[in-house]
Every structure is written in structure tokens, then in C-alpha cells.
Amino acid sequence: MPLEPSPTHPDIAKRFLALSGPSRAGDPGHLAVRGDLAHIKLAGQCFVPHYAVPMPHRAKAETVLRSQPRDTADVIATLAQGTRFEVLDIAGAWAWGQVEHDGLVGYVAIADLEHAA
């Protein structure tokens, strides 16, 4: 009995899930990719162990986007109240992700965010 085509069939996987060239180099400012994780939209473009589907959040009040997950890290941008932020990872008190409207990538204190619909 022949195998039916399926998303896990080797021929299908080779055509749709294979990298077709070198991974995109990460732009730390606008490309949501780290050594261990990338935004799901970058699957097939960047090779990392894990891809994340963004969890939509928004800033409860004015807050800052930082370069590292600590209060003393450089400020990348100030986010206005209501700014949408796509959370890709949460570790401790910090969320790593991407600002929806301009694509900036960094860390926001999780206490400063709320779930968005």
C-alpha cells in the first residue's frame, strides 16, 4: 500500500521545511531571532532550535524596551500606553519580543504588560 502525501512525509518535508540557503543574519534591533529562539514567521529563514508563535500583549502604561532583561540595560525605546508588543518568551520578570508597529526587538518588564485581544 503506497504512503499518502502528508505534512510529515519525507518528500513534502524536503520541499517545504528545508532551508534553501544560509540563515538570515540577526539584526538585533528588528529581527526577532536569538541563538535559541525566533519568531515563527522566520521559520525557513533562520535556523534555531525553537520557533515561537507570538502572544499579543500591550503596554499598561508608558514603559521601556530594553536591550537585556535587567533594569540597568540600555533603553532601546519608550513604549506609549497601549503599544502592542508580541511576546515570544517570558523568563522571570521579563518578556522578550517585538513591538508590533515598528518591529523593534527587546525586553519589557512583564509587570508592565497585559494580554491583548
Instruction: Check residue 31 and give its pLDDT.
Output: 87
The per-residue pLDDT for 115 is 96
Confidence (pLDDT) at 44 = 84
Helix (H) or strand (E) holding 16: helix 10-16
Length of the chain: 117
Helix, strand, coil % in the chain, rounded to nearest 5: 10, 40, 50
* In the predicted structure, residue 16 carries a pLDDT above the cut 80: no
Please report the pLDDT score of residue 27 as a whole number: 56
Looking at residue 25, what is its pLDDT? 55
Q: Taking all residues of the chain, what is their mean pLDDT, rounded to a whole number? A: 84
C-alpha pair distances (Å), 4 with each of 16, 17, 63, 111: 17, 18, 52, 49
pLDDT at 47: 87
pLDDT at site 11: 56
pLDDT tops 60 at residue 102: yes
What's the pLDDT at 45?
84
Tell me if 18 sits within 8 A of 74, measured CB to CB: no
Average pLDDT over residues 16-25: 55
